[in-house]
Amino acid sequence: MELFKIIRELTKRKRLKEYCFRMKTNTLCLVGFLTLAGAGAFAAKPVEWAAVGQPSRGQAQAIGTPAAGCLLGAETLEADGPGWQVLRLERKRNYAHPAMIDYIHWLGGRVRDEQLGAMIVGDLSQPRGGPMAFGHGSHQNGLDADILFRLTDQPLTESERERPDLISVVRGQTVDRSLWSGKLERLLEVAASSPQVERIFVNPAIKAHLCKSLPPSRHGWLHKLRPWWGHDEHFHVRLSCPPGSPDCVSQAPPPDGDGCGYEVDSWLKRPTLNIPSDKPNTRNVTLPAQCQSVIQTAGQ
């Protein structure tokens, strides 16, 4: 392989991984990874990303991973639409890759058509993605969205929208039957049915409930439901890397099978299934090198 081709390969971590796998060389790969770990990435302060008020112009691109990434050419999710309403607009977290905006529009349409009420959408991403000053460790590359376990037939009041009561639907190791409903179950099922959805995070107690209550013939969609701490008053949708985002790094797909039995049971044995949210994120986050120009063009 010509030298310049090798260098081009080395400019991107995932291409480097592919190269190493293909060529089975160790020394060159080690040098490449060390180079990328130093010069190819940069440390960014969450407050700087949170302070950016506008998306960048240009072709939308999700860059990096949901936990270390950024977003070019974000679109804004409107405050309301058919089948959805958005919370806490003052946070400026209603931005996402157009694939996520289209997904919310689609899911809202399904919710309305099935007469489930309207869904309530929480945080997506910041105008240019990146780490957030408080709360989530992910939601950085425009492909994550939170949706409440709550459906409503009423428009949110201003105070409900800006200071919502986030009510857990979990009691101990199962769902609270006074709050859980067939409509919420259907919302989750429809949300998971899009081929763009890579995984949906829910509290382990919710997954355990569905594993037990649904007949095995209806377990097909449960493999996308991934148990995770928190996620008891909202679920978290993650889309796959969309076309046209060559620097987006995909997570490994969820394991085969429905994840019921041993996997979800092992979660229920953990000492706590909930974690406090909205804690300040004060540590610098190491982001892909491409994100440096995304934040440096702030205001353009």
Stretch that binds Zn ion, among 45-53, 66-74, 92-100, 234-242 (CB under 5 A): 234-242
- Give yes or no for residue 236 binding Zn ion (CB under 5 A): yes
Q: Tell me the closest approach of the beta carbon of residue 244 to Zn ion, in angstroms.
A: 24
Site for Zn ion in 72-91 (CB under 5 A): none
Name the residue nearer to Zn ion (CB basis): 9 or 123. 123
Q: Tell me the closest approach of the beta carbon of residue 22 to Zn ion, in angstroms.
A: 35
Q: Tell me the closest approach of the beta carbon of residue 93 to Zn ion, in angstroms.
A: 10
Name the residue nearer to Zn ion (CB basis): 12 or 236. 236
Q: Tell me the closest approach of the beta carbon of residue 238 to Zn ion, in angstroms.
A: 8
Name the residue nearer to Zn ion (CB basis): 52 or 145. 145
Rounded-to-integer distance, Cα 188 and Cα 169, Å: 14
Name the residue nearer to Zn ion (CB basis): 9 or 146. 146
Among residues 49, 104, 107, 146, the one that binds Zn ion under rule CB under 5 A: 146
Other residues' Cβ atoms within 10 Å of the Cβ of residue 23? 13
Name the residue nearer to Zn ion (CB basis): 10 or 121. 121
Stretch that binds Zn ion, among 31-39, 55-63, 222-230, 233-241 (CB under 5 A): 233-241
SS (H, E, C) the chain: CCHHHHHHHHCCHHHHHHHHHHHCCCHHHHHHHHHHHHCCEEEECHHHHHCCCCCCCCCCEEEEECCEEEEECCEECCCEECCEEECCHHHCCCEECHHHHHHHHHHHHHHHHCCCCEEEECCCECCCCCCCCECCCCCCCCCEEEEEEEEECCCCCHHHHHCCCCCCCEECCEECCCCCCHHHHHHHHHHHHCCCEEEEEECHHHHHHHHHHCCHHHCHHHHHEEECCCCCCEEEEEECCCCCCCCECCCCCCCCCCCCCHHHHHHHCCCCCCCCCCCECCCCEEEECHHHHHHHCCCC
Q: Tell me the closest approach of the beta carbon of residue 99 to Zn ion, in angstroms.
A: 17
- Give yes or no for residue 231 binding Zn ion (CB under 5 A): no
Rounded-to-integer distance, Cα 233 and Cα 149, Å: 5
Stretch that binds Zn ion, among 73-81, 87-95, 167-175, 229-237 (CB under 5 A): 229-237
- Site size toward Zn ion (CB under 5 A) is 2
Name the residue nearer to Zn ion (CB basis): 75 or 146. 146
- Give yes or no for residue 247 binding Zn ion (CB under 5 A): no
Q: Tell me the closest approach of the beta carbon of residue 273 to Zn ion, in angstroms.
A: 16
Give the interface with Zn ion as residue ranges (CB under 5 A): 146, 236
